Amino acid sequence: MTTSPFREPLSQKQSRAFEAPDVIRTRFSDALSHMYREEVPQYGTLLELVADVNAAAVRRDPLLLPSKPDSARLDVERHGAIRLGTPYELNTVRRIFAVMGMHPVGYYDLSEAGVPVHSTAFRPVADDALATNPFRVFTSLLRLDLIEDTALKDLAAEILRKRNIFSARALELTDQAEARGGLTARETDEFIVEVLQTFRWHGEATVSREVYERLRSVHRLIADVVCFRGPHINHLTPRTLDIDAAQAEMSLRGIEPKEIIEGPPPRSIPILLRQTSFKALEEPFRFAETQAQGVHTARFGEIEQRGIALTRKGRALYDSLLQMARSDSEGDARKYEERLAQAFKAFPDTLRALRREQLGFFRYALLPHTSLPAGETFNIDDLVDQGVVSATPITYEDFLPVSAAGIFQSNLGNAEPKAYSDVTVQSEFEQALGAPVLDAIALYQSEQDASIAEVIRDIKRLAP
């Protein structure tokens, strides 16, 4: 077992009477998926499309199916996103997700890209929890401090102060889970129903048309976060094995995808994350007071393909090559794709090079029936080259700030983004959250290190 420095706080205290956090997470993710399919029927189309594309991809090339544990979780794998308004909301959401074995990983500052939020991703952390169900929620907190108009800022803060996005019972059950160390099966049933309420679409705004329009004219995102009774889940993203095929198939099934796929270009060895989305749909709602009808666009669809997690060195190379392709704003989407492909020629594209140059993370394991080398010190790369040890890419479980900004922009109607000139305020975010965010790269590193330590231990134990 991996000796990750991170231990599930709940499982330690857990007794047999409690449902495992993995089970609660899977049940919640399923329930959310059902609800979202009802709310946004195109999401159902997306799920069918991805299932078809994945099946076809594996038929064409069986090697495309990731090795375990990735292959086993593919059918249940998805991520969602919510946007919150206050520190209290973020703090409480953290506590709720902890009950499901999900913890904040990473800090994403989107203000540089003209989106007035900062974010984290709640996800499972331990490798066995990830293997069971890697459900993640990209969670953003609105930054009212970036709004210049003080009167409007105060108004928004006042509206947010008055709302309560959690049911009393959801809060009670969360307290209970923390105090006792878990939830029973019956409490879990209730917890899921109650927490789902926070994520659903509420067809009534908390504000008048006038206030909605005022907030919307500053930034569409601000109206989306401030004017409703809850942080409606705004997308749920299934994972595909072939995003280029999925992108092409979207148009064929009457879904209009955004022009470019975010992230790295197509490669033989996928790295990090590639994503595409379709535009937000128009949903009717009622304004407060007059009950007049309005239409709001917030919820959209997204598909993603995941590849190997990169080391700090690999990530630095990725960031610089992406920057190179993006710095030149000439031309259309096709031109951008060409520049991207050109720039990424500098990124090694074989497993061996990614491993040898320490660009990607791998999980190592001793292969059965091999003759073991003797000795005191071992070089893991040599052991792999000698055919004694296998190296399986570790999947990237996180998000990418530039891609996330692109996704935000496209569903906010491609308004010309203007960057907020501001320093990153991770410490403020963590204060609101009530906990530090975990460092994603450190998590991958510790998984890789633990697998190497186990290999060496095994060799020393088994070698003649």
What Å distances lie between residue 71 and 102, 133, 239, 387, 395, CA to CA?
Answer: 21, 11, 11, 24, 11
How many angstroms separate the CA atoms of 220 and 194, rounded? 28
Residues in 296-325 at the binding interface with ligand OOG, rule: CB under 6 A: 302
Count of chain residues binding ligand OOG (CB under 6 A): 12
From the CB of 456, what's the least distance to Ni ion, in Å?
A: 39
Residues in 104-143 at the binding interface with ligand OOG, rule: CB under 6 A: 138, 140
Contact 381, 358 (CB under 8 A): no
- Kindly give, in sequence order, each residue whose CB lies less than 8 Å from that of residue 195, ignoring residues fewer than 6 positions away: 28, 96, 170
Smaller CB separation from ligand OOG, 404 or 433: 404
The entry of Ni ion, ligand OOG, none near residue 408 (CB within 5 to 8 angstroms by kind) is ligand OOG
Rule CB under 6 A: choose which of 192, 407, 432, 455 binds ligand OOG: 407
Rule CB under 6 A: choose which of 10, 81, 125, 126 binds ligand OOG: 81
- Structure tokens that stand for 394 in this block: 């570790």
Residues in 259-288 at the binding interface with ligand OOG, rule: CB under 6 A: 275
Beta strands (DSSP E) in 38-153 are 78-84, 103-109, 117-123, 136-142
* Closest residue to ligand OOG in the complex (CB): 404
- Reduced to 3 DSSP states, what percent helix, strand and coil does the chain have, rounded to the nearest 5? 50, 15, 35
Q: Which stretch binds ligand OOG (CB under 6 A): 150-158, 197-205, 353-361, 402-410?
A: 402-410
Smaller CB separation from ligand OOG, 36 or 287: 36
Would you count residue 404 as binding ligand OOG (CB under 6 A)?
yes
Residues in 416-455 at the binding interface with ligand OOG, rule: CB under 6 A: none
Pairing outcome for strands 273-278 and 236-238: unpaired
From the CB of 258, what's the least distance to ligand OOG, in Å?
A: 12
DSSP string, 221-264: HHHHHHSBSS-----EEEB-S-HHHHHHHHHHTT--B-SS-BSS
- Kindly give, in sequence order, each residue whose CB lies less than 8 Å from that of residue 389, ignoring residues fewer than 6 positions away: 364, 365, 366, 367, 380, 383, 455
From the CB of 399, what's the least distance to Ni ion, in Å?
A: 7
Would you count residue 54 as binding ligand OOG (CB under 6 A)?
no
Would you count residue 234 as binding ligand OOG (CB under 6 A)?
yes
Q: Which stretch binds ligand OOG (CB under 6 A): 12-20, 51-59, 159-167, 401-409?
A: 401-409
Amino acid symbol at 72: A
Q: Which stretch binds ligand OOG (CB under 6 A): 34-42, 325-333, 388-396, 400-408?
A: 400-408
What Å distances lie between residue 436 and 177, 245, 373, CA to CA?
Answer: 21, 39, 43
Would you count residue 43 as binding ligand OOG (CB under 6 A)?
no
Would you count residue 258 as binding ligand OOG (CB under 6 A)?
no
Q: What are the beta bridge partners of residue 286?
A: 204, 293
Contact residues toward Ni ion (CB under 5 A) are 237, 302
Closest CA relative to residue 86, chosen from 155, 148, 143: 143
State the residues that interact with ligand OOG by CB under 6 A.
81, 83, 138, 140, 234, 275, 302, 399, 403-404, 407-408
